[in-house]
Amino acid sequence: MQKCERGYAVRTDFGQSKNGVVNMILNVRTNQEQQFIEITREVQNVVRKEGLQDGFVVVYVPHTTAGVTINENGDPDVVRDIIVNLEKVFPVQGDYRHYEGNSHAHIKASIMGSSCTIPVENGQLQLGTWQGIYFCEFDGPRQRKVLIKGMEG
Q: What is the CATH number of the domain that holds 41?
A: 2.60.120.460
Number of domains in the chain: 1
Cα 100 from chain centre: 23
14 pLDDT more than 70: no
Question: Taking all residues of the chain, what is their mean pLDDT, rounded to a whole number?
Answer: 90
Question: Which ranges of 51-95 would DSSP assign to H, the alpha helix?
Answer: 76-89
pLDDT mean over 24-49? 95
2: in domain: no
The answer to whether 134 and 37 have CB atoms below 8 angstroms apart is: yes
From 52, 75, 68, select the one nearest 124 (Cα to Cα).
52
Query: Which range marks the domain in which residue 60 is found?
Result: 9-152
22 pLDDT more than 90: no
12 pLDDT more than 90: no
Q: What would the pLDDT profile of 84-141 be if each residue is shown by its tens digit?
A: 999 999 998 989 889 898 999 999 999 999 999 999 999 999 999 999 999 999 999 9
Judging by DSSP bridges, how do beta strands 124-125 and 35-38 pair with one another?
A: unpaired
CB atoms near residue 26 (< 10 Å) = 21
4: in domain: no
pLDDT of residue 101: 87
User: Is 88 exposed, middle or buried, given 0-12, 13-18 or 19+ CB atoms closer than 10 A?
Assistant: exposed
88: in domain: yes
Q: Is the pTM of this model over 0.75?
A: yes
Rg (CA), the chain: 16
